[in-house]
Amino acid sequence: MKTLTTLFKNNVREYGMLIALIAVMVFFQIRTEGVLMKPVNITNLVLQNSYVITMALGMLLIIITGWIDLSVGSVVAVIGALAGVLIVRYDYNWVLVVAICLLLGAVIGAFHGYFVAYLKIPAFIVTLAGMLIFRGLTIALLRGESVGPFPRGFQNISSGFIPDLFQGSLNDKPFHITTIIIGVLLSILLIWLDARTRGNQKKYGFEVTPFYFFVAKNILITAAVMGFCYLMASYKGLPNVLVLLFVLVSFYSFITSSSVIGRRIYAMGGNEKAARLSGVNTPRLLFYTFINMGVLASLAGLIVAARLNSSTPNAGDGMELDVIAACFIGGASPMGGVGKVIGALVGAFLIGVLNNGMSIMGVGIDWQKVVKGVVLLLAVLFDVYNKNKSA
C-alpha cells in the first residue's frame, strides 16, 4: 500500500488528469444519452483533436524549456493557405506540396528560434509578432477567399482510413478485422514493454509496484485498447491520422524519456544556467526546439486543410489556446522543467471531450470558453498547490 501511495504522489498530476478525463467522459456519456461513445462520434473526436495533439507534442517541449509559442494557430493557417494555393491554383503535386510545407514550417520555427535563442528576445514577444505576421500572410495568400477542394489523396491525410485486408463482417454489417488485429498486437506490445521496464527496475534494485497492480493496470489498458478498436472496427476502422498520431506520440515519448536530447531539454528547463555550465549548448537546443515546433505546426496545418477540404483565412484561429491549455492541464509546469507526453495527450483529449460533449448538448461557444478557462485555471492552481506542499 505504501508503494501505491508513493506512486500516486509522484504522479499525482498525470493520474489526477486521467481520472478527470474518465469522469468527464462518463458525465457526457450520460448527459448525451450515449451519443459521446458512438463509433462515429469517437472517430470525429479523434479527427477534431488530431491537430491539437500534434502541436501539443511540440508545445510541450517548448514549455519544458520555460518558454511558450503563441504563433502556432497562425502557422497552421499560413501553411494551409500555401498548400491550397500550390495544389488548387497552380496544380502542384500534393506530395511535393506536403514536403515544401514541412520545410517551410522548419524555416518558420528557425525564424522564431533565432530571435529567442540567440538574440535573447522573449518568446512571448517573438511569437506574438509571428502570430500577426503569419495571419496577415494567410489573408494575402488567399486574397480573403477560401481555396479548394483538394485531390482525394491529400484529403486522405485527415479523412482517410486504413484498408481492411480481410473484408470482415459482424451481424451482417461491415466489421474492420484489421483494426482488431492491430489492437491485439498493440496490447501485446504494451504489456511486453511494461514487463520489460518492470524487469529492468527489479534488476537494478529500484522499487517496483506490487505485482497485482501491474496485472490490474495491464488488464485495464488492454480492455481500453480493445474496446476502442472494437468501436473503430464497427464503423470504418482506424483513421489514417490516428496511425500518424501513434507514431508521433511513440517517437516523442522516447525522446523525452530515453534520449540524451530529452534529458538536456528537461535540464535546461529546470535550471538553464546550470545546464549551460554542465556543457549543454542551450541556445542551439532551444533553437532546435522551435524548429521542431514549426514542423509540427505545419503538419497540423496540412491536417486541418485536408479535414476542411479547403484553405480558409480563419483556419487555426484561437487554436494556440487549446494547444497550450492541453499541455498545462496535462501536467506541464509554467515554470519549465516539468511535463510528460502522456500528460499532454490526456490534456488534449480532456479539452476535446469538453468541446465535443458541450457541442452535442447544445452549449454555446461562449460558455464552452468559460468552462475551458476554468479548467485551465484549476489545473495550474493544482500544480502550484502541489509545489508549495512539497516545498
Domain boundaries, the chain: 10-160+239-385
Question: Which of the four pLDDT bands, split at 50, 70 and 90, describes residue 93?
Answer: very high
pLDDT at 387 over 70: no
pLDDT at 4 over 70: no
Query: Residue 107 and residue 96: Cα distance in Å, rounded?
Result: 17
* Grid cell locating 135: 495571419
Q: Which of 152, 14, 24, 134 is nearest to 73 (CA)?
A: 134
Residue-wise pLDDT for 314-351, tens only, equals: 988 889 988 998 998 888 888 888 889 988 998 898 88
Residue-wise pLDDT for 187-200, tens only, equals: 999 999 889 888 88
Residue-wise pLDDT for 262-321, tens only, equals: 999 999 998 988 999 888 999 999 999 999 999 999 999 999 999 999 999 998 888 998
Average pLDDT, the chain: 89
Please state which architecture CATH assigns to domain 10-160+239-385: Orthogonal Bundle (1.10)
**Would you mind telling me the total number of residues written for the chain in this entry?**
391
pLDDT value for 248? 95
Residue-wise pLDDT for 8-58, tens only, equals: 555 566 667 778 888 888 999 999 888 988 988 998 888 888 999 999 999
pLDDT value for 2? 47
Residue-wise pLDDT for 142-156, tens only, equals: 988 888 899 999 999
pLDDT at 1 over 60: no
pTM: 0.90
Report, as an integer, the average pLDDT of 107-129.
Answer: 96
SS (H, E, C) the chain: CHHHHHHHHHCHHHHHHHHHHHHHHHHHHHHCCCCCCCHHHHHHHHHHHHHHHHHHHHHHHHHHCCCCCCCHHHHHHHHHHHHHHHHHHCCCCHHHHHHHHHHHHHHHHHHHHHHHHHCCCCHHHHHHHHHHHHHHHHHHHHCCCCECCCCHHHHHHHHCECCCCCCEEECCEEECHHHHHHHHHHHHHHHHHHHHHHHHHHHCCCCCCCHHHHHHHHHHHHHHHHHHHHHHHCCCCCEHHHHHHHHHHHHHHHHHHHCHHHHHHHHHHHCHHHHHHCCCCHHHHHHHHHHHHHHHHHHHHHHHHHHHCCECCCCCCCHHHHHHHHHHHCCCCCCCCCCCHHHHHHHHHHHHHHHHHHHHCCCCHHHHHHHHHHHHHHHHHHHHHHHHHHC
Question: Which of the four pLDDT bands, split at 50, 70 and 90, describes residue 61?
Answer: very high
Q: Which of 74, 59, 56, 154 is nearest to 352 (CA)?
A: 56
pLDDT value for 223? 93
* 8 A C-beta contact, residue 219 and residue 135: no
Question: Which of the four pLDDT bands, split at 50, 70 and 90, describes residue 391?
Answer: low
Cis peptide before 239 (omega within 30 of 0): no
- Which has the minimum average pLDDT: 222-226, 238-242, 332-336? 332-336
Query: Residue 64 and residue 58: Cα distance in Å, rounded?
Result: 10
Q: What are phi and psi of 347, to 5 degrees?
A: -60, -40
Using the structure block, give the residue that is written with the C-alpha cell 494575402.
140
* Grid cell locating 202: 527489479
